[in-house]
A and B are shown apart, each in its own frame.
Chain A
Amino acid sequence: MRLERRTHMPFHLVIIAPIAAILVALTLAAGLIAAAGVNPLTAYGEMLRGALGSRLSVTEMLTRATPLILTGLAAAVAFRARLWNIGGEGQFFMGALMTAWVGHSLGLPPILAIPVLLVFGMSAGAALLAGPAFLRLRFGVDEVVTTLLLNFIVILFVGLMIEGPLRDPLAFGWPSSVPVDSDFRLPDLIARTRLHIGLLIAIAAAGVVWLILSRTVFGAETRAVGLSAPAAAFAGISLPRNLMGVALFSGALAGLAGSVEVLGVTASVTTTMSPGFGYAGIVVAMLAALHPAGVVVAAIFVATVFVGADAMSRATGVPSFIADVIVALCLLTMLVALLFTTYRVRK
């Protein structure tokens, strides 16, 4: 038995692969749920009810999906060019911090201020990834390690800022940054819920990413670099320029996620505001096979698991860490599923 590379990828496999991956992951996780003494079907039923069972839970789920779409896009853009940006978490926090900082005292009318703040958040994220990209291009330092280590540095930096210069003197308990001006908050999408127009921003971003990747020279160059960097260089594409472009683009998307989360949900920055949005973005991107439209769907799935697991945990007593297990398993099973979309088994 051996593997043989497919000459073309049948479209139905592109749809089947993630669904099969998710089903296998859910089956494996069922064993762990059973180990907790709970019927897995009951648990999954509770999860679905918790995430999709009422108007409120659906809006909560979509609120959770919003930053995931953006961090998922950030990972997808980078991974397409084989730039391993694992620093989405750090870029998210830098975007959030920059937005809260500038947004606390910005003398602009809201209609102007909101776009300005989003751009500040994007720039902060982009700047943070530009560093590792530069180190890779100039010194050949692997960006996986630098982006990962930067996540830890950034969280400490956020802690430093919100306990120091950006501390909110009115906040009790855990330190938190000064809030953005309440006029600059993103308007609600549905009244009396937490769902805000950030969801539309995220979906629009997916559209923009799709346009850029499939309809511009930069997108074509990125695809070429991702397929084979030496071949792309031979074809006259400047690798440094393309990789730096990809880095700025990817970092900006993760920064935007932080910015949108602050303007839409939290108003101020805390070190606990992200339950791993950056890392989950990697799973989202892989489940979507790095396709922007798929990212939106995959983010909704991952958000369903996270929000649903919280409710399920309250109802059945299964530890809510099961959500992280399911999401991580999805990443591994999807990786195997992708193998079968590019290779086929020959006897």
Chain B
Amino acid sequence: MIEALELLMNTSLWAAVLRIATPLIFGVLGALLCERAGVLNLGIEGIMTMGAMTGWLTVYLGGDLWTGLLVAAMSGALIGLLHAILTVPLGLSQHVSGLGITLFASALAYYLYRLIVVVGELPPTIEPFRPIDVPFLSDIPILGPIVFSQTMPTYLALISVVVMAYVLARTPLGLAIRMTGENPHAVEAQGLSPIHIRIGAVVAGSALMAVGGAFLTTAAFNSFFPEMVQGRGWICIALVVFASWRPGKALIGALLFAFFDAYQLRLQTVIEGVPYQLFLMAPYVLSIVALVLVARRAEVPEALMTPYRRGER
């Protein structure tokens, strides 16, 4: 018991929390952007898989790490565009299209990986992002090693939260996006096109999701393998609800989830006699519990999952 508490005093645990949260932050921001515009994007799991693959592959084929993230974002945007075309102008079921996108993007990622990369006993590796000590700030006791000795994409994720919160809450673009998710007819009345705004939001959101996936292969690990996203995309969809569609709360949700994930990994070594699967289950179970707790109070965007057709009510 004491040992379980001692784990909490360890800075490496808290540094791991931020690291584990990074892909979730990108993913949840992406999902949040799509949903704020009124489109549920269940393609997230596949888009993250695709981003993980293309980001890794770019570096493996000789590109630098930032090019890798960029290519991942573009591959995500492309798949997002497919989801956007199916669900926005065509107005097809967002549930079914999203699942189709997930199945398609994951399968395509595995297929292309097998096609291009020769896999031996172990998957080939790349040189991933290294943690960077921010000058001066990383010398702050406790906080320094936790927050200011991370990899660059983690800083990028934290900055993205601020940018997303600012854009959504304080800019005309953000207002238009939010209004499209609440009442697309009002957007049309303002002379803006809800169709264009939704397509743009889904494409941009999908690019963010893909960067989250790419973090897994270019910073957290150094290789790509099937099933590596492991439901992180679905957890992001749950986190958006938990966060009540707000970027700040989404960050807190991602950190909370990452904390449980990092803590259960370390608890496994301390607590004996409990099957490890129970620890691994905990984050998924907690996601469901969190959904139950907030579902009734959630401020769902009014027009979420309602296709917009001009002149049709």
Type the 1/0 row for B71-107, where 1 means its CB is closer than 8 Å to any CB of A. 0000000000010001000101101110111011011
B280: interface (CB < 8 Å): yes
A32–B115 alpha-carbon span in the complex (Å): 10
Q: From B82, B103, B110, give the contact of A331 (CB < 8 A).
A: B103
> Cβ of A19 < 8 Å from any Cβ of B?
no
Q: Which residues of B contact A32 (CB under 8 A)?
A: 108, 111
With A36-B115, A156-B280, A335-B86 as contacts: A149 and B234 at CB distance below 8 Å: yes
Q: How far is the CA of A140 from the CA of B82 in the complex (A)?
A: 30
Q: Kindly state the separation between the CA atoms of A338 and B295 in the bound complex, as whole angstroms.
A: 32
Among A141, A151, A338: residue with most chain B CB under 10 A: A141
* CB-defined contacts of B238 to chain A, threshold 8 Å: 145, 149
A137-167 contact mask (Cβ, 8 Å, vs B): 1 or 0: 0011110111011111100110110011000
Quick check: is A93 within 8 A (CB to CB) of the other chain?
no
A100 at the interface (CB under 8 A from B): no
CA distance in complex: A160, B310 (Å): 52
Q: Are A140 and B93 in contact (CB under 8 A)?
A: no
Pick from A79, A151, A319, A335: contact of B115, CB below 8 A: A319
- Considering only CB atoms and an 8 Å cut-off, how many residues of chain B contact the other chain? 44
- Distance (whole angstroms) from the CB of A167 to the closest CB of chain B: 11
B235 touches A (CB below 8 Å): yes
Cα separation A259 to B35 with both chains bound (whole Å): 38
Question: Would you give the shortest CB distance from B138 to chain A, in whole angstroms?
Answer: 36
B124 to chain A, nearest CB (A): 16
Known: A148-B234, A319-B111. A335 touches B296 (CB 8 A): no
Contact indicator A153/B285 (Cβ below 8 Å)? yes
Q: Which A residues fall within an 8 A CB radius of B? A: 2-3, 32, 35-36, 79, 84, 86, 135, 139-142, 144-146, 148-153, 156-157, 159-160, 163-164, 279, 282-283, 286, 319, 321-322, 324-325, 327-329, 331-332, 335-336, 338-339
B contact set with A: CB distance below 8 Å: 42, 82, 86, 90, 92-93, 95-97, 99-101, 103-104, 106-108, 110-111, 114-115, 230-231, 234-235, 237-238, 241, 275, 277-278, 280-281, 284-285, 287-288, 291-292, 295-296, 298, 309-310
